[in-house]
Amino acid sequence: MIGEHIAIVGGGLLGAAIAYGAIRSGLEVTLFDEHDTAHRASRGNFGLAWIQGKGLNKPEYVNWTKNGLRLWPELQEELLQITGIDVALQQPGGFWLGFSDREVLERETKLKQINAQGVHVPYTIMDRSDLLQYLPELGPSVVGGSFCSLDGQANPLLLLKALHSALKIKGANIINGVRIERVTYDKNTRRFLCFNSAGDHWESDRLVLAAGLGNAKLAADVDIYAPIRPKRGQILITEKLKPFLNYPTNKCRQTNEGSIQIGSTSDDVGLDDSTKTDQIELLARRAVKTFPLLSDARLVRAWGALRPLTPDGYPIYQESVKYPGAFVVTSHSGVTLAAAHCYTVAPWISGLTQTPLEFIAFRGDRFIQRPKE
Amino acid sequence: MRLNQVFKFYESKDDEFVTVYFEGKELRVPSGISVASALLANGIYFFRASSVNGSKRSPYCMMGVCFECLLEIDGVPALQGCMIGVRNGMIIKRQIGNMNVKKLDIETY
Amino acid sequence: MSYDVVIIGSGPAGMAAAIDCDKYGLSTIILDEQPMLGGQIYRNIEYVTSGRLKILGADYEHGIILADKLRKSQVEYRGNVSVWNVTRNGEVSFVINRGGRSGEKSQSINGRFVVIATGAMERPFPIKGWTLPGVMGAGAGQILLKSSGLIPNLPTVLIGEGPLLYLLAYQYMKAGYKPAALVSTTRFSDYFKAIYNMPKAMLSWRDFLKGLKLLSSIYIHGIKVYSGATCLELNGSDFLEEVSFKHKGSYKKISASLALLHQGVIPNTQITMSENLPHKWNENQICWEPITDEWGRLPESNLYVAGDGRGIVGAQASETQGKLAALSIANQLKNIDDFIVKSKQLKQTLSKQKRIRPFIDRIYRPKDEFRIPKGDDVIVCRCEEVTAGQIREYVDLGCIGPNQTKAFGRCGMGLCQGRFCSLTVTEIIAEKRNVTPTEVGHYRIRAPIKPVLLGDLANTDELTE
């Protein structure tokens, strides 16, 4: 409710967006952020604001994403007004690229299946000659692709900076360098408590766990099941180049500063976020296959970002039944869904709106194995 | 571009000279030195313009660490002039802003 | 391809390590980023003219002995090679620098042990105007002299402190050029504070005398020296035009076309940091150092560090460290006769060679104002043009370490990969937060250690797969 004090654990794209949404809805906000070398999955976000290809077997997610993308320009404008930071949102449409006819056919099938679920996502299957109209530097190995007019990109780091900036301007209490180890609920005071390892604690009326990889453990404290596992994705960044790529593609995009971002692989390696040379070479090969002129661009940075993934890859947005007012939120699409998190999730966790109907599909207990009858 | 030579050669070099071109201007430079040295020895102080705000830059470290000495050499953009030796007929241009991948020959692919 | 020892860098540490590894019968290769061996201090040592040799002096000439021994050995030397990744178990990936075009593909070789001898680099000198054309490091001046035989032709000011600066002034005068001024940032109080280190330093009286001789010749030749300078500024519109500073209470301006800055060198820690190996903050040398054992070995790895990359020790001590690493490695691969005696000798030598270090570190300690710019508009990250004021703003926004400021402001994301801004950023954050540099930490460094062409990483033959 307005005036209530809400504590949000996790200052990444998710936590910061929700915190901002909460404070603009009239709540008092305390945001906890870890130390400088913490995992920080947000730093590994690729920066796509993307819908095509998503949501197979989960029409609620298609709808959720579609609405989120629609709300994005409003968020960009609002952040620009308040902080002066332009998060470089572009929504010109985006391309998925395929290297064989079979791949392209499989893609078309998938996109048809997704639309058959009821929520329509516009797309066009293109052959090579069509693609060249939009992506003239395309290499000979790319035989076709799919275009979706709703897709786009933004700068994830500028977005994070803008959100933190806006939070500061609006008077949020941001506590840096603190790792919340445990959360509890006090029945008598009806308040939530967040503890760090030293035993310091902070109180609040409401609690949101947006701690990414840390959520699995903390969620149990509020009786929510959130099986989140780290999935490492290698990303490459080149030196800054003069613009040549006007549309984001699923594996390669040109940032607003001019560097080319190339991604990403996907490995299950626990918490090892080191960079592997064979993965770098694989990504470099694919980038050069897609756009041969990148052969002469220099790789400046590569890193393995650990993404917090649920078993089915879809988010968890759940309020605790045992401890109403406590929420777990997790999503690896921190850019795509930023506006949705700010304008829809935030009012909900603030107690100002009813639980969106589709959130039934995003409960953490969908992963609980039911015993067979 | 400064025409006053800020650096000069200590000894008169009796060994080979090569011809290179900087922004169209012909320069005779001793063989065996780096492109950056050759330009500095000819009073050239504006190597590149920053892509962030266009400010003029010239070499700082001369050992490959600072990346200030970026030049376009024989059509290849954004190369470190301090790490490349002069060659006869070399065509050198300033690196203005970010590197342009599109300019490169397609036939090399 | 496999070797007993892969050595990265061909300065005194690299060459000495290679020579000894070869002597012990180990298959050895040197990978060098530069086109010729010698590292920075012995740059161009194999091709330097006799005229230049006279100017550069005996310390430089010593490099010829090393280069000679190396050439006579079985050590394989490969120049023009850019190492972009080193793993803890000795896999080294590199590309060949061909000046741009995607040439040969990236290669990997394995060393049973790797010696990282990448040395040091110029400490950044972030003051107003330091990015102007016409401003370079004093090390750059030395490189131009060694490699190309170039000396200044127009008014030049040498600024800062440290043995390299005075050596350069001395070498310039021998070559017939007198700098317009030497603006020294050493204060009387530094000499005073260094007195505590004097007794130990006097044990290395030869080094001490050498330094004195250098300094006195500068005065004898009549170079104008301003000591204890503060409030340094470099002014000019497109190029350097004037150096201004405060000296004995009044402001001075000197017209100049070239300024050579120096306040010591710092270890190049890119490779050691890239494998997440532990580093500690050295408060005496104000820089990060990798944590090693007495042989230079990095924990839980087959990697050694030798030379200035382990902590600034100078050329002679770097050589000894190279020999120590070689001895340690050789003894693990095959039993070395009189290992104990040899190691004792080398350790004693190293100890002697390091004796003068605390004195030099104290007397030439870089000043706070030239490491942590007070002016908000002073550029800290040259590549991305991020200022000191912006870093402080990010701290206000909640960034508590350099990786966060990097994410917020691109500081450290340029082509130099954070080499030139790393220490400055850590110290600015530490000062603003009122904590130690240790608590602030450093950039997370990862492969590629140097920018590498995508074409060199991709297997270009397989484009049609």
Domain ranges of chain A: 5-77+156-227+311-367, 94-149, 229-309
Model confidence over A243-300: pLDDT tens digits? 999 999 999 999 999 999 998 777 766 667 666 788 899 999 999 999 999 998 999 9
Chains that touch A (3 or more CB pairs under 8 A): B, C
C172 → chain B, closest CA residue = B10
Quick one: fold of A229-309? D-Amino Acid Oxidase; Chain A, domain 2 (3.30.9)
Model confidence over C400-432: pLDDT tens digits? 999 999 999 999 999 999 999 999 999 999 999
What tokens were used for A231? 């999935």
DSSP state of A42: G
pLDDT for the residue C102: 55
| ipTM of predicted assembly, 2 dp | 0.92
pLDDT for the residue A273: 67
User: Mean per-residue pLDDT for A189-202?
Assistant: 95
Q: How confident is the model at residue A37 (pLDDT cuts 50, 70, 90)?
A: confident
pLDDT for the residue C167: 92
Sheet of A201-204: strands edge to edge? Answer: A180-186, A191-196, A201-204
What tokens were used for C215? 């300094």
A137 interfacial to chain B (CB closer than 8 Å): yes
What tokens were used for A18? 């929700």
pLDDT for the residue C195: 80
Q: How confident is the model at residue C209 (pLDDT cuts 50, 70, 90)?
A: confident
Shortest Cα–Cα distance, B53 to chain C (Å): 8
pLDDT for the residue C299: 95
pLDDT for the residue C464: 37
pLDDT for the residue C188: 83
pLDDT for the residue B103: 57
Q: Does residue A313 register a pLDDT over 70?
A: yes
Residue with tokens 């050295």: C282
Q: Does residue B109 register a pLDDT over 90?
A: no
Shortest Cα–Cα distance, B43 to chain C (Å): 10
User: Mean per-residue pLDDT for B79-85?
Assistant: 93
Q: Please judge whether B101 and A293 are an interchain contact, meaning their C-beta atoms are less than 8 angstroms apart.
A: yes
Q: Please judge whether B102 and A240 are an interchain contact, meaning their C-beta atoms are less than 8 angstroms apart.
A: no
Q: Please judge whether B98 and A298 are an interchain contact, meaning their C-beta atoms are less than 8 angstroms apart.
A: no
pLDDT for the residue C75: 97
pLDDT for the residue C204: 79
What tokens were used for B17? 């000279």
Mean pLDDT rounded to a whole number for chain C: 93
Q: Does residue B2 register a pLDDT over 80?
A: no
The secondary element (H helix, E strand) that includes residue C1 is: none
Mutation test of the interface with chain B: which of C122, C144, C146, choosing the one with the most B Cβ atoms within 10 A?
C144
Nearest-CB residue to B100 (from A241, A292, A298): A241
* C184 neighbors C227 (Cβ within 8 angstroms): yes
pLDDT for the residue A275: 66
Between C208 and C185, the more confident residue is C185
Q: Please judge whether B101 and A297 are an interchain contact, meaning their C-beta atoms are less than 8 angstroms apart.
A: yes
A243 → chain B, closest CA residue = B100
Q: Does residue B16 register a pLDDT over 90?
A: no
- Domain A5-77+156-227+311-367 matching CATH 3.30.70.890: the answer reads no
User: Mean per-residue pLDDT for A25-48?
Assistant: 87
Model confidence over A340-370: pLDDT tens digits? 999 999 999 999 999 998 999 999 999 998 7
C86 → chain A, closest CA residue = A277
What tokens were used for C120? 């040091």
User: Mean per-residue pLDDT for B22-38?
Assistant: 94
User: Mean per-residue pLDDT for C289-301?
Assistant: 96
Domain ranges of chain B: 14-96
A280 → chain C, closest CA residue = C457
Between C313 and B15, the more confident residue is C313
Q: Please judge whether B61 and C122 are an interchain contact, meaning their C-beta atoms are less than 8 angstroms apart.
A: yes
Mean pLDDT rounded to a whole number for chain A: 93
pLDDT for the residue C460: 45
Which positions in chain C touch A161 (Cβ < 8 Å)? 397, 407-409
pLDDT for the residue C78: 96
Residue B44 C-beta-side C-alpha neighbours within 13 Å:
21
- Domain B14-96 matching CATH 3.40.190.150: the answer reads no
Shortest Cα–Cα distance, A353 to chain C (Å): 30
Which positions in chain B touch C51 (Cβ < 8 Å)? 10-11
Q: Does residue C34 register a pLDDT over 90?
A: yes
- Alpha-carbon distance A330 to A337, whole Å? 11
Q: Does residue B105 register a pLDDT over 80?
A: no
A294 interfacial to chain B (CB closer than 8 Å): yes
Q: Does residue B82 register a pLDDT over 80?
A: yes
* B60 neighbors C135 (Cβ within 8 angstroms): yes
User: Mean per-residue pLDDT for C243-252?
Assistant: 96
